[in-house]
Structure 1
Amino acid sequence: MKIIDWYILKRFLVTFFFTLLILIPIAIAIDISEKVDNFLEHPNLGIYQIVEEYYKNFTIYYANTFMPLALFIAVILFTSKLSNNTEIIAINNAKVSFTRFLYPYFLGATFVTILSLLMNHFVVPKSSKIRNKFEKEYISNARAKNELKFVSDFSLQLTDSTYIFIRNYNTDSNSGYDFTSEVYDGLKLKSKLVADNIRYNVEDSTFSIQNWRLRKIYKDRDSIFSGNKMDTVFNFTPRDLIYKSELSQEMPSDELYKFISISRKRGVKNLNAYLVEFHKRTSLPLASYILTIIAVALAFRKRRGGAGVNLAIGIGIMFIYVFLMKISEVLGAVAGVSSLLYVWMPNIFFGCLAIYLYFYARK
C-alpha cells in the first residue's frame, strides 16, 4: 500500500467510527425519553441493571444496525472533503484511475463487512435475547407480554410418521390441554394417544400427561389403554410451538439454521420469517461494498454546494434503500415466496445503480 492508501483508509475509518459514535448517543437519548416512565414504574429497578441488561445490548444492536448508514455517510463526507480540497484533482493528475482510487475504500468496507458479519451472526442474537427479556419484564404492556404466552390449535409433524395436535398451550406455565399424538404407517393409522392435559418438565425434558387414552390399531383388532398420569418423551419442546420473528432474532445463526432445518422436516408450513432473518444477516453487511461504490461515485467530483449537496443526495438514497429493505422483509416473510430473492432485492437494485455510477465516474 502507498502513503495515499494509508491516508485514505485511516481517515475513512476515523470518519466511520466518529459518525457511528454520533448516531448511537442520539438513539439512546431518544429511547430514554420514551421509556423513562416505564423505568420509574419499577422502584426496584436500579440504574446499573438498566445499563447492564438493556442499554449495553441496545448499543450493540443499534451500532450494528447503523453500520451501513454510518459507512455511507462517512464515505460521502470524507470523499467530499477530498474533492473540495482539490486533493482528488491531484490524484487524477498523477494518473490514478478511479478503480485504483477505490482500493483503500474497499479495504475499509471489507473491515466493516467482516465486523458486521460477526456481529450479525453471533454477537447481536445473544445480546438481543437479554434485551428482549428486559423489555418483556419492565417495558412491554400486558398485551405484548402475553403475545408469546398462549398457543392455540397448533399441529406439528415430529417425524415422517408422527403428528401432534394441541388445542391450547401456555408457554409461561408449560402446560396445555386437549393433546393428541398420532402415528401412521403410510396412510394407515397405527396408534392414537389422547390426553386432557399435558405439562412440560424443564428439569428432565419430559412431558406429563393426565387422563390419557391410548388406542393401538392392529390388523384384526384394536387395543385401548388408559390412565390418570404418565410421564413420557416427545421430540419437541415448548419453544417449537412458538413461531415468532422475535425468537429468530435471539438465535445465533448456527442454531437458527438448525432450527429451520428441523422445523422444515416437521412440516411447518411457513418458515419465511426465520429465513428472512437468516438471509438478512449476510445481505446487509455485504451491502457495504455497494454503498461504498455509490458514495464514492457521488462525492468523487466537486459540486457546487460542496459536501452538503452530496450528503443530501446520499441521505435520500439511503432512505430509499432502507425503505426497500423493510418492504422486502415484509414481502419475503409471506408464505410461498422466495425469501432469499426478496431479501437480496435491495442489494440487486442498488448493485445495478452502483455499477452505473462506477462506469459514469470512470469517465
Structure 2
Amino acid sequence: MKILDWYILKRYLTTFLFTLLILIPIAVAIDISEKIDKFLRDETLTFFIIVNDYYKNFIIYYANTFMPLALFIAVIVFTSRLANNTEIVAINNSQISFTRFLFPYFIGATIVTVLALYMNHYVVPSSSKTRKKFENTYLKKSKYKDQMISDFSLQLNDSTYMFVQTYNLKNNNGHKFSTEVYDGLKLKYKLIADRITWRDSVFSLLNWKERKIFDDRDSISSGNRIDKKFLFTPKDFNYKSAMAQEMPSPELAEFIRISRKRGVKNLNAYLVELYKRTSLPLASYILTLIAVALAHRKRRGGIGVNLALGIAIMFVYVFFLKVAEVLGAVAGANSLLNVWMPNMIFGAYGIYLYINARK
C-alpha cells in the first residue's frame, strides 16, 4: 500500500470510530433518563449489576446497530474534508483514477464488515440474551407477556406428532394434550390427556388414555396420572421472533432446520433475523461507495450539504430496511429476497454514482 492508501485508511477508521463513540453515549444517556426510576425502584439492583448485565450489553447491541450509520457519516465527513482542502484535486492530478482512489476505502470497509459479521453472528446474540434477561427480571412488569399458547402442534419426527389446545408458560401446565405415531398413513399409537404439566424435566399427564394399534387388535389403557419424557420441552411451544435475536447463528440455523422438520408453518421471522446478520455487514461496501461518490467533489456549502444529503439517503435506506424486514416476516414471503432487496436497490444506485464519478 502507498502512503496515500495508509492516509485514507487511517482517516476512514479513526473517523468511523469517533462517530460511533459520539452516538453511543447519546443512546446511553437517553436510555438512562427513561429507566432511572425503574433502577431506583428495585432495592436489589446494584450499580455493578446495572453496568455489567445491562449497559455493557446495551452498548454492544447499539454499537452494532449504529455501525452502518456511523460508517456512512464518517466517510462523507472525511471525504468532504479531502475535497474542500483540494486534496482530491491533487490526487486526480497525480493520474490516480477514481477506481484506484476507492481501494483504501474498500480495505476499511472489509475490516468493518469482518468485525460486523462476527458481532452479528456470535457476539450480539449472546449479549442480547443477558440484556433481555435483565429487562425481564427488573424492568418489565410481567415476564410472561405472551404466556398463553393456544392450538399448538408440532411434528417431532417423520412419524410422530403432538398437539396441545392450551398451554400456560408461566405455571407450565396445559389442557387437551395428544400425541400420535404413524406408520405411513396408518395410525399406530395415540396418547391423550386432559391435563399436562412440566416438572423436573418430566411431563405429567392427568386423566390419560393410551391406545396401541396392532394388526389384529387394539390395546387400550388409562389412568389418573402418568409421567413421561417426550422429544420436546415447553421452550418449543414459544415461537417468538424475539427468541431469534438471542441465538448465535449456528444455533438459530439448527433451530430453523428442526422447526421445519416439526412442521412449524411460518418461520420467516427467524429467517429474516438469520439473513440480515449477513446482509447488514455487507452493506458497508455499498454505503462506502455511495458516500465517496457523493462527497468526493467540492460543493458549494461545504460539508454541511454533503452531510444533509447523506443523512437523507441513510434515512431512506433504513426505511427500506425496516419495510423489507416486515414484509419478509409475512407468511409465504420470500425472506431472502426481501432482506437483500434494500442492498440490491442501493447497490444499483451506488453503481450509478460510481459510473458518473468516473466520468
Give the alignment's TM-score, normalised by structure 2: 0.97
**Residue 49 of structure 1, CA deviation:** 0.9
Aligned residue identity for 1:37: D
Distance apart, 1:188 and its partner CA = 2.1
Instruction: Give per-residue Cα distances to partners, 1:18-61, cap 9 Å, x unaligned.
Output: 00000000001111111112222212211211111111100000
Q: How does 1:222-233 map to 2 (within 5 A)?
A: 222-233=218-229
Inter-partner Cα distance in structure 2 for 1:340 and 1:19: 31
Matched, 1:275 2:310: no
1:332 is matched with: 328
Query: Offset at 1:352?
Result: 0.3
Residue in structure 2 matched with residue 77 of structure 1 by the alignment: 77
CA distance in 2, matches of 1:253, 1:6: 34
The alpha-carbon deviation at position 217 of structure 1 amounts to 2.1
Bigger mean CA offset, 36-45 vs 300-309: 36-45
Q: Distance in 2 between matches of 1:88 and 1:238?
A: 62
State the alpha-carbon separation in 2 of the partners of residues 323 and 250 from structure 1: 24
| CA displacement at 1:196 relative to structure 2 | 2.3
Match of 2:141 in 1: 141
In 2, the alpha carbon distance for the partners of 1:78 and 1:2 equals: 19
What is the distance in 1 between the residues matched to 2:337 and 2:284? 18
Displacement after TM superposition at 1:269 (Å): 0.4
Aligned counterpart, 2:4: 4
In structure 2, what is the Cα distance between the partners aligned to 1:282 and 1:221? 56
**Alignment match, 1:184:** 182
Q: Distance in 2 between matches of 1:160 and 1:316?
A: 51
1:260-295 deviation digits (Å, cap 9, x = unpaired): 000001110000000000000000000000000000
* Separation in 1, partners of 2:337, 2:233: 31
Measured in 1, the distance between the counterparts of 2:325 and 2:225 equals 45
Separation in 1, partners of 2:100, 2:267? 43
* 1:134-188: CA deviation from partner (whole Å, max 9, x where unpaired): 111221233xx32242212111111121111112222233332221101122222
Name 2:51's counterpart in structure 1: 51
Tell me, yes or no, if structure 1 residue 360 matches structure 2 residue 356.
Answer: yes
Q: Distance in 2 between matches of 1:40 and 1:228?
A: 49
1:318 paired residue number: 314
Task: Please give the residue correspondences for 1:196-275 in structure 2 after superposition, counting only pairs within 5 Å.
Answer: 196-202=194-200, 205-275=201-271
Q: Secondary structure at the match of 1:197?
A: strand
Cα pair 2:144 2:169 within 8 Å, conserved: no
Aligned length: 359
Q: What CA distance in whole angstroms lies between the structure 1 residues aligned with 2:199 and 2:252?
A: 24
The residue number in structure 1 matching 2:116 is 116
3-state SS of 1:176 partner: strand
Distance 1:299 1:238 in 2: 54
Q: CA deviation at 1:199?
A: 2.6
Query: 1:86: how far off?
Result: 0.3
Structure 1 residues without counterparts, runs of 5 or longer:
none
Cα separation, 2, equivalents of 1:326 and 1:155: 30
Give the drift of 1:113.
0.3
The structural deviation recorded for 1:331 is 0.3
Write the distance in 2 (CA, Å) between the matches of 1:61 and 1:175: 35
Whole-Å Cα distance in 1 between the matches of residues 306 and 202 of structure 2? Answer: 61
Q: CA–CA distance in 2 between the matches of 1:63 and 1:199?
A: 42
SS of aligned partner of 1:309: helix
Please name the residue that 2:32 is paired with.
Answer: 32
CA distance in 1, matches of 2:247, 2:170: 20
Q: Deviations over 1:107-136 (max 9, x none)?
A: 110000000000000000000001111111
* Aligned-partner residue type, residue 310 of structure 1: N
Give the aligned residue type for 1:229: R
- 5+ residue gaps, structure 2, are none
Picking from 280, 287, 290, the partner of 2:283 is: 287
Mapped to 2, the partners of 1:208 and 1:125 lie a distance apart of 33
Normalization by structure 1: what TM-score?
Answer: 0.96
Counterpart in the other structure of 1:125: 125
Counterpart of 2:339 (choices 339, 343, 351) is: 343
1:172 is paired with a residue of what secondary structure? coil
Q: Secondary structure at the match of 1:9?
A: helix
